[in-house]
Amino acid sequence: MEMITALVYIAIFPGFFFLAVYGTALQWADRKICAVMQNRVGPPWYQTLADFIKLASKEVIIPDGADVKMFKALPYIAVAAVITAMLFIPITSSPIYSFQGDMIAVVYLLTIPTATFFLAGWSSTSPYASFGSMRVMTQLFGYEVPMLLSLVGPAILAGSWSIYDISAYFSTNPKMLFFQIIGFIVSLLSVQGKLERVPFDTPHAKNEIVGGQFTEYSGILLGLFNLSIDMEMVVCAALINAIFLGGSWQLGGWASIVLFLIKTFAIVFLFTAIKAMMARVRIDQMVKFCWKYLAPLAMIQIIVDICLKYTLLK
């Protein structure tokens, strides 16, 4: 019975089916809102689903010299890592799995898709893909530290490294959320880089290196990589919601799901606004921005939270 329950969590909610459907819907909303902001029409509501079906129906072509097993396995590993990360984030009640330090585990799990993107390009034996994969890793060194530091401050203030405990703390102490604005902004910008969205989309800049790390991918494998990115956007939005917005699980049942959808959509709207307002930056500019501005801002947030924690304990 426990195995069946676990399979339901992984396959349906909050696992693959939920992430795939909601991620696809958010991808369409992102494209549509961005188009409206840029005075364009944008795609019809079924476009993202049609894109996936089209890719799934195409032939998978593996380049000569590529490691066939690795080439085929990487998209599935990316999807599996994203699904696993979602199991630690509360939606309608306490998360499916929770332990002290699960926040670090989620950050680690969300790093695995990035690693698969690097390996996808590096193992493709294509100069464009290899160049894109190097940009993936360079960008990882830029955003990963500010992203982790932005999560440390709320964890210190809540006195826990558990996502559920942090969310519960801020839900009972909502005034403390106002002191997390710096960390919230840093996390938004860091996740924008993690998802390789404008202005941090240099790893797959089509007008520079064709399709970047995914240049040699086609068919269902490319579709799964694209789907993993959409699903990762949901998980990152859910993580930001749980850490910086108090979560949505307190209401319970369908009310929590509706509140979760509203909050995560609002976060994705901010991602879209950043994307629509800014132009692509060079990879060196991205790394410099993360280390020169985002990392110090995240450190300031940590100092603020340490001072708050000390003041509350007195």
Q: What is the DSSP string of 244-270?
A: HS--STTS-HHHHHHHHHHHHHHHHHH
pLDDT for 314: 66
What is the average pLDDT score of the chain?
91
Indicate the number of domains in the chain: 1
Contact at 8 Å (CB) between 170 and 176?
yes
Judged against a pLDDT cut of 80, whether residue 63 lies above it is answered with yes
The vertex-231 CA angle with 226 and 233, nearest 5°, equals: 100
For residues 66 and 216, give the distance between their C-alpha atoms in angstroms, rounded to a whole number: 10
pTM: 0.95
Helix (H, G, I), strand (E, B) or coil at 294: helix
Judged against a pLDDT cut of 80, whether residue 2 lies above it is answered with no
**207 pLDDT band (50/70/90 cuts)?**
low
Domain span at residue 61 reads 2-313
The 10 Å Cβ neighbour count of residue 59 is 7
For residues 192 and 204, give the distance between their C-alpha atoms in angstroms, rounded to a whole number: 14
